[in-house]
Structure 1
Amino acid sequence: MTVRPGTSTSETSQTDAPGTRQRRPADRRRLIVDAAAKAFSDGGYHAVRLDDIAEAVGISAPALYRHFPNKYALFAETTSALARSLRSALDAVDTDGDDELRALLVAITAASFQNRRKGGLYRWESRYLEPADLAIVRDVVVHQHRRVRAAARRLRPDLGDADANLIAAAMTSVAASPTTHRASLPAREVTTLIPDAALNLLDVDLPGPVQPAAPGVHGLAPAAKREIILTEAINLFASRGFRDVTIEDIAHAADLPASGVYRHFPSKVAILEAAFWRATDRVTSAISDALAASTTPHEAILGMIRRYVQLTCSTTDLISVYETEIGHATPEARAALRNQQRITVEEWATWVSRERENLSITHARFLVHAALNVVTDLSRLQPQPSPERIEALSARILLGGNG
């Protein structure tokens, strides 16, 4: 089913409850879409109930169904509306002049910051949107990339295709990074700091592209049953999505009966949360190792970047599951994981602000989120860029002219 923007309905008095007649707000449909976008972004597609959205808007469920026949129709409309908003921001930027690239990056950053409560929608698009609806979103994403790449090449005509594509992807990731966190900063500062960091990537000295390594031996599989279960579950969650994987699927992949899985994990959610903590623990360990091997803030930042990039590039399934399935964890686990993420970002930001003495810790947090987002986004590209190329871009974001 392809969802198109709905036609307007009469705004005369409607009955939302027996015996009650009230005037329907003129922008009710927009209010529903806005509430749904925030709910889907925070909790994921399957975790959200239409009754919850209706309650957030202050209407009854039957009133919501007058606008959207089912949850998918509402989900498709929210993603389409977000894509149209970004397209409008891009189209408002003139296509000529030396300021086009900066203007595009400012427009993307402003749209991202304005819609940061809804940005998680992009994490769910490829898994849950039907092809025609997905095409609407993908068209805007491709258009955005092409405009940024073309504007970058006008300023640097020497950029080859591979470098231009990688730098454009990194710039866009930086500009979109405000949707990935809730750090506080005035909008006017965000729309200066983040575009500046993105624009600073234009003259990064990138290592040359390398051919992807031929498939080789990936090492030995773990022998412990708990580790086998966790490994196979992560693979299944990454490829099929948490909701569509059963305990029986995990048991079959681990060559165990279902009872064998339950001896190690009480539920599928417990397996998912164990995967989340596995990712979190590895990041924490990488930071500790980098600091232990460093004697200056500059060395610490480069060491953390190198280890984080290596970790992300080598465990893309684990990182992908963390990014896309967090909504299925219990509220208590989500709160604990997000608290640990804040501690991690604060550690990075502290060393960045020590290296760049003119940079406040608040600004450093935004740059750390931008750099981490770039690592995550670029590691998912096909073919995956070499770790050295990703490191060069993320280091420039954090170190600026100190790199």
Structure 2
Amino acid sequence: MSRAQTTAGGVPQATPSDGGRSGPARAGGAETPGAADVRADSVSARTRQKAERTDRLLLEAARLFARHGFRGVSLEEIASAVGISGPALYRHFSNKQAILAAVLEDVSQRLVGGARLRVAAAPTPKEALEALVDFHADFALGETDRIRVHNRDLGTLDEDSSGAVRRAQREYVELWVDQLLALEPESTREQARLKVQAAIGLLNSTPHSVRHGDPAEVKPVLVRMTLAALMA
């Protein structure tokens, strides 16, 4: 049984008869202990699954674009490669242009992020430059599809998307330039940038190089050539 007490407004209000030991009443639909954690885990799992599917979409799109060209691939083909329907693909990307932009922006951001880490970890500019060359060689040998797409289809992007990619590319190049100038202070920034761009171009030739040998054997050759070109 409950006792009634009067509020300031004179309205009777029921009070619990357990001496105040009861916690807040659980109104209909209120969560039981742990329900919020279960719901958060479920949301986290769905978010993770969506991210994994997006990664697979970008991987397959890069493979198809590299093989057939941007204009030679349909949205349905990309969706089929991932095992989803065409309409389901629109939950991830609004159109094929958005997929291409995501592929190329992902490449640029991964390069910038990896380069920053290696420069920060290197004790000297020489070791930083060597780490950058090694990093890019690994990337180029492992991401031949994306390099082909970048070389051939960057000009297909709209101005906003291509601008974002090019800004990231410039930041990446300047990280290399900073290390080279520390080793060759007599060079101008323009001279150092020319060397860096040529060196990266050499490494990006790997979509053709790997056709002629095992990547594990190709890499040390490319690294030595690139470092020699940078220091020439």
User: In structure 2, what is the Cα distance between the partners aligned to 1:311 and 1:378?
Assistant: 10
Per-residue CA deviations over 1:262-302 (Å, capped at 9, x if unaligned) read: 11100001010000011101211221121122011100000
Structure 2 residue aligned with 1:376, among 196, 204, 224? 204
Matches within 5 A, 1:17-28: none
CA displacement at 1:236 relative to structure 2: 0.5
Q: Structure 2 counterpart of 1:273, which letter? A: A
Name segments (4+ residues, structure 1) moved above 6 Å: none
Q: Which residue of 2 aligns with 1:328?
A: 156
Q: Structure 1 counterpart of 2:74, which letter? A: T
Q: Which residue of 2 aligns with 1:393?
A: 225
- Choose 1 or 2 for highest CA Rg: 2
Matches within 5 A, 1:8-19: none
- Identity level (%): 27
Report whether the alignment pairs 1:282 with 2:110.
yes
Q: Which runs of 5+ in 2 are unaligned?
A: 1-49
Decide whether the 8 Å contact of 2:137 with 2:223 is kept in 1.
yes
Q: Which residue of 2 aligns with 1:251?
A: 79
Per-residue CA deviations over 1:17-70 (Å, capped at 9, x if unaligned) read: xxxxxxxxxxxxxxxxxxxxxxxxxxxxxxxxxxxxxxxxxxxxxxxxxxxxxx
Report whether the alignment pairs 1:265 with 2:93.
yes
User: In structure 2, what is the Cα distance between the partners aligned to 1:353 and 1:239?
Assistant: 38
Q: Which residue of 1 aligns with 2:45?
A: none
User: In structure 2, what is the Cα distance between the partners aligned to 1:269 and 1:378?
Assistant: 26
Report whether the alignment pairs 1:360 with 2:168.
no
When the two structures are superposed, what TM-score results if normalisation uses the length of structure 1? 0.43
When the two structures are superposed, what TM-score results if normalisation uses the length of structure 2? 0.73
User: In structure 1, what is the Cα distance between the partners aligned to 2:227 and 2:160?
Assistant: 34
Q: Which residue of 2 aligns with 1:306?
A: 134
Aligned-partner SS, 2:73: coil
Decide whether the 8 Å contact of 2:116 with 2:175 is kept in 1.
no
CA displacement at 1:223 relative to structure 2: 8.1
Decide whether the 8 Å contact of 2:105 with 2:164 is kept in 1.
no
Q: Which residue of 1 aligns with 2:20?
A: none
Decide whether the 8 Å contact of 2:70 with 2:153 is kept in 1.
yes
Matches within 5 A, 1:3-402: 224-381=52-209, 382-384=211-213, 386-400=218-232
User: In structure 1, what is the Cα distance between the partners aligned to 2:160 and 2:175?
Assistant: 23
Counting matched residue pairs gives 179
User: In structure 2, what is the Cα distance between the partners aligned to 1:229 and 1:280?
Assistant: 17
CA displacement at 1:379 relative to structure 2: 4.5
CA displacement at 1:380 relative to structure 2: 2.1
- The structure in which a higher percent of residues are helix is 2
* C-alpha RMSD of matched pairs (Å): 1.6
Decide whether the 8 Å contact of 2:79 with 2:89 is kept in 1.
yes
User: In structure 2, what is the Cα distance between the partners aligned to 1:236 and 1:390?
Assistant: 27
User: In structure 1, what is the Cα distance between the partners aligned to 2:73 and 2:186?
Assistant: 49
CA displacement at 1:383 relative to structure 2: 1.6
Range with bigger deviation, 242-251 or 351-360: 351-360
Q: Which runs of 5+ in 1 are unaligned?
A: 1-221
User: In structure 2, what is the Cα distance between the partners aligned to 1:378 and 1:230?
Assistant: 20
Decide whether the 8 Å contact of 2:147 with 2:207 is kept in 1.
no
Per-residue CA deviations over 1:335-393 (Å, capped at 9, x if unaligned) read: 22112212221221111011112222110000001100111114422224521110000
Aligned-partner SS, 1:359: coil
Instruction: Mark the CA change 1:223 to 1:269 in structure 2 (over 3 Å): closer, same or farther.
Output: closer
CA displacement at 1:224 relative to structure 2: 2.3
CA displacement at 1:243 relative to structure 2: 0.2
